[in-house]
Each structure stands twice: as structure tokens, then as C-alpha cells.
Structure 1
């Protein structure tokens, strides 16, 4: 394979963005669709070819394509290039494969939306920046992709820009991510100060050749990078943008907030594992943030009624699992869960979109019920996603989630057992709220309007098929939407089989595949092999039991005795707190947003408007008045005054001529 063809992976969707973004308005919709799909299929096929090539080569080395220096000043050079190793290859496969399926689904979901060409242009732009992020050979180029996916996310979340909540959600995502990006920039500045480079190879090679580098400035750099990761991957305290991002179209949620962009923080931490391995403190911070976020978001997800918001908080919680894995140096387990999560969470979001499509825009689960016979394909595919994320064997989520819990339990982290307990509790809560969603949506009496009013698509997140809704009532989605669901359901079933551990009779293929990337840590080591297979099987059994307990509780309260929990919630003092998301947004608004806005208004109105703008205007006016007063006296009508001014002017001219000679 020609290494230079790697550039086609990001450039292909960028070309699709240019075409649809410039002339797409004047093109017929089928042609817009064909352009968007073709330029996302090309990188998917290239990644498949690259996968075959790297497997056949059997070499652990990465493929580097350098195009010379990008920034070159005295003592500091940043090369412009891309690189592919086993880690980035897995990420590319997820981004291009799942991304293509979501593009295909979008062709049906968005078929009657205004701005169809604009939507696909934004999707292609996102694919371009995400590919750049994964392929980057340096921190600087990674940061370009990092910022680019933030821009594309802002555009896609605010796609329904005439709707205030969508526009505000886009701005919120953009601003919160800028806070995290500030930390990322500080980390890059520290890298330049200490290593004189932003190239991954040079920085990591320097760390590897200096065993005395432990903690200290490495901890400072790692913590700055963690701030960036908490913003992009929606972890405490910067998680607040992700639930509101559900205001965008459902395919956007599946693409950006399930399969790609939100995993960028996990990918970055895993990519920088050489740096984090030298700082046990930074790893501990990552683990604690991940565990806290996982259980915190799961609590909120248990009481949400909007089907997309349940999945949004589920995403935040599952990202916490991945952070937890990285925090105990189980990077392969974190990437494994990242992969399986991309399958079943994209499936769940797209299935939710199919449900919303069937109900012409309804997202409240309290107005659903009994849909399993109305939309059977959506029901069975979503069932696979629900069972996968709940950790029911032998589906994908069981293997990846249990690997994280096992590695956490046997890690040398002083609070590893406590973190494992938090992760186990989160697994039970995840099972409960996902089966709650399943029962409320597909079982029980039908609580929806058979012939709803047509959706106002300037204010609804749904595929507008009002004519079909009125003609046929609740209806199954077209096959252009169902085909990606079926494929993702298959991946949600078998996707975890590549990581079956030896204790369960497997060979952990994905762990061995990533071995060339994640060399043995120098400080933090996971001594899981010492624990034996018996412990791993025991922990897996406990995890399955907890997942089944979550299913049983949801079965009792939302199938056998519906309404029981509603009565308990009405008398509970804790329920309103959780239902209002622990008032975190309100606290942020009072403590941070309002004072900043007041300070900004003070600067704007007092210093800028009152001082600079108004002051400069007044100064210009006073200057004009003063000059006019002087010049007015020259036009006095007095001949002696004119003669005096004439003499004064002549003297000035003579003086200039005399001094000019010298």
C-alpha cells in the first residue's frame, strides 16, 4: 500500500464538504446524498485496505508520512505529517465505518428537512477533522483536528438554528469545550518548554530515554491534558454540554456524541500513555474522574423521560468507564470499550431516531408504549443494543465492561477496590435505566396519538414525514434507515468476541493487537495475571448478577407494576434533586456564568463603550471645536488681521526654506 494514499482518508470527506457546501444548494437531493456517501465510503475502503496491509505485514511499527517541517524556528520544529499504528487504525475503523452507516441512515432520516445539503456538508466536515485528529503525528496537528471537531459539533448541534434551545446548546458545547482546550494548550506550552518539540515520537522517545523523569513537570503536563480530555469527552466538571447537545438531529447524536468526537479525550490519553505512566498521581486523577462521572451520570439517567437524554447521560457514564480504564493503566480495555460502545450506542441513538420518526417527533417516553408490534425491526435491533450496554453475555458490552472492572479490581491503585465497587454499582444502574427505557418504549399500553399533528421542523428533532404519519399512523422506518440498524445490531452482538479473555476461553485478540502500542508501563503496572482466572470468572459472575438485578427491578416497576415508582417519587425528597440533574447547571450559572457576564458587561459598557468609544468620540469633537475656534479667528474681516497672518505665513515659508538648506 502506498503510504501517501493515507492522505485520502481525511481529504476525501473534505472534498465532499467543499462540493456540498458550495454548490449543494443547487443540486438535487439524490446527488447531494451520493456525494456525501461516496466521499465517506472512500476512506472506509482505504482503512479496510490499510487493515489488511498491516495485518499481512505483521510489523508493529507505525506508518509515517511526513511532508517536511510545518513550523521551523530556532530550536523548535514541528513536522507536518500523519501516522498510523494499531491504535489509530482501530479508531479509523470506528470513525469511517460507523460514520458511513450514520451517513446512510441520515439520508432517510433527514430526507424532508430544509438545509439537507448543509447537513451533509457539516457531516463530511466533521469526518475530515476527526480523521485529522486520529492520524495526527504531533500534538499540534491533533489540536487542529481537536478544534475542528468542536467547530463541526457546534454547527451540527445548532443545525435547527431557528430554535433557541438548539442554538444555545451549540454555543454551550462550543464554550465549555474552549475551557477544556485552554488546559490542552497549557499542556502543549509545557511540552515545548521541557522537550522543545510537539512531535509524539520525539516527546515519547525523550521520556523513554530518561528514567529519572517521574512526576513533577510530567504530572503538570498530564493534568493539563486531562482538563482538555474532560471537556471533549464530557467528564466532571465539563460534562454539562453533552446532554444539551441532544437538541441536534438524532444522527448527529449518534455520530458525534456516541461514536467519535466524545471519544477523542480517551484516545488522547491512551495516545499519551507514555507520559501518564510516569505520573501515578495524574493516573489516579483520571481514574477518580472516570468513576465519579460514571455513577453520577447514571443516577441522572435513571430519572430522565426524554429518550435521547437517557442515552445522552448513558454516554457520559460509559465515557466515565473508559476514563476509569485509562486511570488504572488498562488502556487496551478502555479502547476495547470505546469500540464496542461505538457499536451499541450508535445503534441505540439511531434506533431512538427510528422511534421518534415513527411517532412524528415525539421523544417523551411517557407518551410511547406498545411499539414492539408497530415497529418490529426497530424493536429487535434496539433490543440488541439495550442488552449489549446492560452487559448481558455474550453481547459486546459484557466483555469490554467486565474487562474494565476486572483490571480496576486487580490494579495497584490504593483505592482500586473502591473504584471497582463504584463501577459495579454503575453497571447495575445502567442495566436498570436501559431496561426502563426498553419497557416504557416498547411494552405496556399504547400512550401515543395515532395520528399526531405534523411536526414543525424548525422546532422539532425528527424526520418530517407528516404525510406518511397522517396516512398510515405509527409506521416502521424505511430500509435506508433500518439497514444501518441491522448492521450495528450484528456488531453489538459479535463485536466483543475479539476481546474474550483467556479466563472465558478466548485469546484477547484486541489486547494482543494493541500490544505494540501499549508497552509495559514504567511505573504503574496492572498485575492482573497474578490474580488468576478464577478471580476473573468470579468478578464476571458478580457483574452479570448485578446486570440481571437491574433488569429485574426495571421489569417489576415498569412492566409488572407500572406507576409504583411514580408514586414513590412523588413523596421522595431526593427525586426532585436527581430529576433536576443535581442543579449543576443552575449552580454553574450562579457561580460562574452570571459573574462573568456581569464583569464582561462592566468592561464593555464602562471601559469600552463609556471610555474608549464614547471618550474617543468626545475627544474628536473637542479637538474639532478647538481647531475651528482658532481657524475662525483667521477669517475676521479685518484687513490688518489678514496682513498679519500673511506676514506670519511668509515668515514660516522663509524659515522652512532656510533650514531645509542645512
Structure 2
């Protein structure tokens, strides 16, 4: 049963990919949807057995790599952390598959699209079920490959080509860091298995590596390398630039990447390695700083974006920052709870945006929308639910996890546990709530409530989608309302033993009891910031008061933020262009075309014209002649190096028979 959860998406991808021409749109759609829905049902059974009944399962299929101490098997681990990820991945993937049947019905390459979606799901399932680092890395790289294929699905578009290559190249940096982390882990622990690494972690707290006389803690170094991998995959500040550009793919791809699969892989990696990261305060402080900065800068960037999907993409980047600095304050279970909650309302937002884009003939600029409540009332209602859940409005799904993360940061600030890190986490996280509320309501006003800027032809033709698109939206809407309430006591309730040994939190880092005794006025702080963001967004869109604020400073600040803080320009100017110039002027022109060619056959032929005629005669284009010279050269090499006449005679006889 457990292995079928992985095999079904793979089989569906193979069938729809290789037999899509024979199956057609309907056949490919039916097979792909059935496979992922069956995987969802089996994931629910696994959740019941493992999560609720407490029966962890580890399945070893066969040995894979055995070289000295390195022994790796194809094996799969199903614990509480894994089954939650299985539920999230298969649920969102099933609804996205169903949604795609209608959204992509006019695309001639629908079977290929469904195949890519399923292979994406399969690699993510491999990533979360692996019980060793090498097998996890297979899923990690597979997710990157599948994201490239999906973002570049409409490969005739230049913007899609550029975005897919950018996502692949930027993630190479994070993947390089993760590979260094895997190598360092094996060097220290002599194993890549999770059980071995986690059981030995307390014994290596004082272990250090010597680099040029500098002693670095081994656990800290591993944690930093793993976090570099998470920075790339989960789009943290510095390597976040690929995430907004990934919107060039079809909208269902955006929902799958941002809600349940690729961007959550880095957060899952950090939560999985909680038994190791807990023993390094330096890594925890780095997580707090990077996570809070990412949440803050991404939330500000979303305020001045005009592309509907790009606004939601920046909100994803901001929410990932919350998950990361929640790991930094050693609240991995709260981070996992927010990850599961975020999957539902973020998928709802993206698929609702797809419904709007579908109704307006692929229009994505919010400035060219407006007054869609009369034409898309159900989509408006569901997008409003998703937006308020994102903001953390009381008693919706986002409220139960997001506000609790902010309460925990306030505890670290009050107790002065980490000084500047506590200040970062508390105030930047709280300010991010304000900007999140602002751009969420700005999106609602520009898209649905303000005066319309849609062309008459599009507004007349706009209508609600069919049931194939509405059913996933309605189910995600219910999830965005109830999932947080239903899962709160199970995941983060006091005294719950749901996570068991899959998440380790040291007693000195546990703040859950203190959160219950936090000052009630501080608990209201996130709600107050949310209301202020909603108020200012309403004020600006109703009264147009921003016209009075339009001075030089305000204009330049808005321009800076709308250009995404010039991250891409800085990267191009200081990294990309110098590397390209070095590759062309130094490596290619001076070394390859200059030094090497002048000392090689080309230079010698120009130096002695007679030799040029001789060399040209030797190039006959026949394979047997080239084999003769290869063997003859090998003979002379052996004479010089080994000085063995017997081998020379043997090779000459061999050449004769050839």
C-alpha cells in the first residue's frame, strides 16, 4: 500500500507521456486523475495508520550503492512528518489535476502537461519519503527538473524559456550547497541514513573541523550547507528571484509549485533535520534573520506588483519566510502546521486567479480588471476567503498557525533570549502582516470591486468556469476555513504526541507553555496590524488619497520596490556579466583560440606549410585509419612509459591484423 502512493503517479506519468497520442485528451486526463486520486486515498490510509495509530513504517527494497563505508539502499520512511506531507502533496496535486482538465482543454499538448504534473508529484513524494540523504537528493533534483519542464511548457514563448532557465540556474546554487552538506555529513557521521545521523548528533556537539587553522563546528557547517539548499528551493532572500518569474507557466503549475511541492521542499528539509539543527545555535540564529528578512522584503515587494499571479507569488515568498524563522525559534511543528495550512489557501488563491484569467481571455494585469463581482461571484467569494486566510483573519485557517508563530517570536523578544534575532523575528514578522493585509485587499479591490477597465468584448464573454474548475475551488475554500481549526490540537496542542520522534525540540528551546501566558495585548498585535492594512487598502482604493502623497520621495520609493529592489540588475552587473566577459575574452579568445591553437596543430601547420599538406592528407575520414593511428600511438606510449618490448610486439601484431 505504501509503495503504491509513489508508484501510481509514476505509472500515470509514463502512460500519459508515452501513450498520450493514442489516449487523446480524455484518456490522458482520466488516467492521470485516477492515479493521483488513488494515491490520495492511500495517503489517507497511511495517515490513519502512522499519524493516528502511531505505527511508523520503514520499507527497504534493495541495496543501491555499496562502496566501502558508503552503503545506501532504496528505502522509504513513513513517519508522522512524512504522512502529513503526503496528505498535502496528494490533495493539492489531485485538485490541480482535476482543475487542469478544464483550464487546459484547448491546449493540444494536454497529455504532455498531465504527464509533467504527475512526474512532479512523483519526485516530491520520493523526496519526502526517503530515509537517507542520497535518495532525498534524487527527489530534490527531480523536482527541479520537473519545474523546468512545467515552467517552460509553452516553450515557444521567450519569457517562458528565460524563466525556466533562471529557475534552473538559481536552484543550482542551492543544490550545490546541499550536495556539500551531504558530503560533509558523510565525512563526519560516515553514513547518509537519517537514523544513524540523528542518533549520533548529540555525540558530535563538540566535534569541529579544522580549515587553515580555523575550527568550525561540524554540526554548524552541515546546518549552514543544508540551509543554503533550502534558500534556493524555498526562495529565501538572495536566491528568491526565480520565484516571481516562475509565473510564466500555466496557472495550475503555479498552484502546484507554490502550494505543495517545490517551494516547500526546503522547509521540509530543515524540519526533517531538526534533531541535528537543534544542537547549533548559530544555525538557528541564521534561520531567524534570513526568514524574517525574507518575510518583510517579499511582503513589501508584493504591494507594488500589478500582475495578479505575481502578487500571490510574493505572498508565497513571504509565508515561506515565516516558516523558516519559525524553525529558527525551534518551533518546527508550528512551521509544519503553517506549511500544511498555507498549501490550502495558497492553492485556492492561485486557482481562483486562474479562474479570473480564464474568464478574461488570459489577461493578468490587475489594472485592466475590475467590477468582476457581478460576473464571477463565486470566484470572488472564494478568493476573498483565501485572501483573509492569508492575512490571518481570526478563525480562518491561516490564523491558527501564522498568529501562533508571531506569538512565539514575541516570547523570544520578551525573554531577551536571542537579542537582535528576537527583535528581527518579532517586528519584521509583525510588519509583514500589515503589508500582507494591504496587498491582499488591494488585489481584491483592483480585480473585483473597483471600476472596470476590461474591454467590452471580454467583460461580456466572462463567466464562471465549469464544475471541473469549481469543485477544486470549493473544496479548497472549505479547507481554507476549517483545516486550521481541525488540526490545531493535533499538531500544536499542548501535550500532543503526534510528531513523536520525527521532530526533536530541546527542552531549553520549547516556548509553548509560555505562549499560553503571554500578555493578551501582545496577542492582539497581529490582528491590529491586519486591520490597519485592510483599512489603508480600503482608504486608498475608495478615496484615491494616494494622489496627495505623490511626491518625489514616494515616487522613487515605489519605483524601487516595483523593480523588485533591483536584485536582478545587481546580479547581472556584478556576477553574470563579469563571468560572461571572462569566459569570452579570457577563456575563449586568449586561451582556446589563442594560446592553445597557436601551440597546437593549427599553429604548427601555419609555421611549417609543408606539414600542413601532410596533416591534411592524414585526415581521410575513414574509421579504420583512425583506429590504426590510435593503436600505434598507444604502442609508442607504452614503449616510453613502461619500456616493455613484449607489449610492443603484441600491439604491432594486433595492428597488422586490423
Q: Same fold per TM (> 0.5)?
A: yes
Choose which of 502, 517, 523 in structure 2 pairs with 1:517.
502
Alignment correspondent of 2:50? 54
Q: Distance in 2 between matches of 1:56 and 1:582?
A: 46
**Partner-residue secondary structure (3-state), 1:392:** coil
Instruction: Tell me how far apart the structure 2 counterparts of residues 365 and 626 of structure 1 sit (CA, whole Å).
Output: 70
- Give the match's secondary structure for 1:513: coil
Tell whether 2:102 aligns with 1:111.
Answer: no
Residue 190 of structure 2 corresponds to residue 196 of structure 1: yes
- Structure 1-normalised TM-score? 0.87
Where do 5+ consecutive residues of structure 2 fail to align?
209-215, 618-644, 651-658
1:27 corresponds to which residue? Answer: 23
Give the Cα–Cα distance (whole angstroms) in 2 for the partners of residues 79 and 105 of structure 1. Answer: 37
Tell me what 1:13 maps to. Answer: 9
Q: Which residue of 1 aligns with 2:582?
A: 599
Q: What are the within-5 Å matches in structure 2 for residues 4-153 of structure 1?
A: 5-55=1-51, 57-59=53-55, 62-153=56-147
Mean CA deviation greater in 98-107 or 204-213: 204-213
Alignment CA distance shift 1:507-1:132 (3 Å): closer
Instruction: Report if aligned partners of 2:304, 2:561 keep a CA contact under 8 Å in 1.
Output: yes
In structure 1, the partner of 2:440 is 434
Instruction: Indicate the residue corresponding to 2:639 in structure 1.
Output: none
Query: How much has 1:209 moved relative to structure 2?
Result: 4.6
Contact 2:494/2:512, CA 8 A, preserved across alignment: no
Which residue of the partner structure matches residue 602 of structure 2? 618
CA contact (8 A) 1:180 1:231 kept: yes
Query: Equivalent residue for 1:180?
Result: 174
1:585 alignment partner in structure 2: 568
Aligned Cα root-mean-square deviation (Å): 2.7
C-alpha deviation, 1:65, in angstroms: 0.5
8 Å CA contact 1:439–1:559 kept in 2: the answer is no
Q: Distance in 2 between matches of 1:614 and 1:42?
A: 64
Superimposed CA distance per residue, residues 421-475 of structure 1 (whole angstroms, 9 cap, x where no aligned partner):
11011011101100110111110211101214xxxxxxxxxxxxxxxx8xx5111
Moved more, 10-19 or 239-248: 10-19
CA spacing shift, 1:11–1:606, aligned 2, 3 Å: farther
Structure 2 contact 6–125 (Cα < 8 Å) conserved: yes
CA distance 1:99–1:624, change in 2 (3 Å):
farther
**Number of residues paired by the alignment?**
607
Please state if 1:494 is matched with 2:482. Answer: yes
What do residues 257-282 of structure 1 show as CA deviations (whole Å, max 9, x unaligned)?
22221010000000001111010001
Distance 1:357 1:339 in 2: 27
Q: CA deviation at 1:563?
A: 6.1
- Assess, with a 3 A threshold, how the Cα gap between structure 1 residues 531 and 268 changes in structure 2: closer, same or farther: closer
Change (3 A) 1:32 1:206: same
Residue 355 of structure 1, CA deviation: 0.5
**2:391–2:436: 8 Å Cα contact kept in structure 1?**
yes
Aligned residues of 2:50 and 2:78 also touching (Cα < 8 A): no
The within-5 A match list for 1:77-476 is 77-210=71-204, 212=206, 216-411=217-412, 412-414=417-419, 415-452=421-458, 473-476=461-464
- The answer (yes or no) to whether the contact 1:79–1:199 under 8 Å persists in 2 is no
Change (3 A) 1:630 1:147: closer
Q: In the alignment, which residue of structure 2 is the partner of 1:550?
A: 533
Give how far 1:163 is off.
0.9
The reply on whether 1:527 has 2:511 as its aligned counterpart is yes
User: For 2:304, what is the secondary structure of its paired residue?
Assistant: coil
Contact 1:259–1:345, Cα closer than 8 Å, also in 2? no
- Check the 8 A contact 1:499/1:511 in 2, yes or no: no
Q: Secondary structure at the match of 2:263?
A: helix
Larger gyration radius, structure 1 or structure 2: 1
Structure 1 residue matching 2:456: 3-state secondary structure:
coil
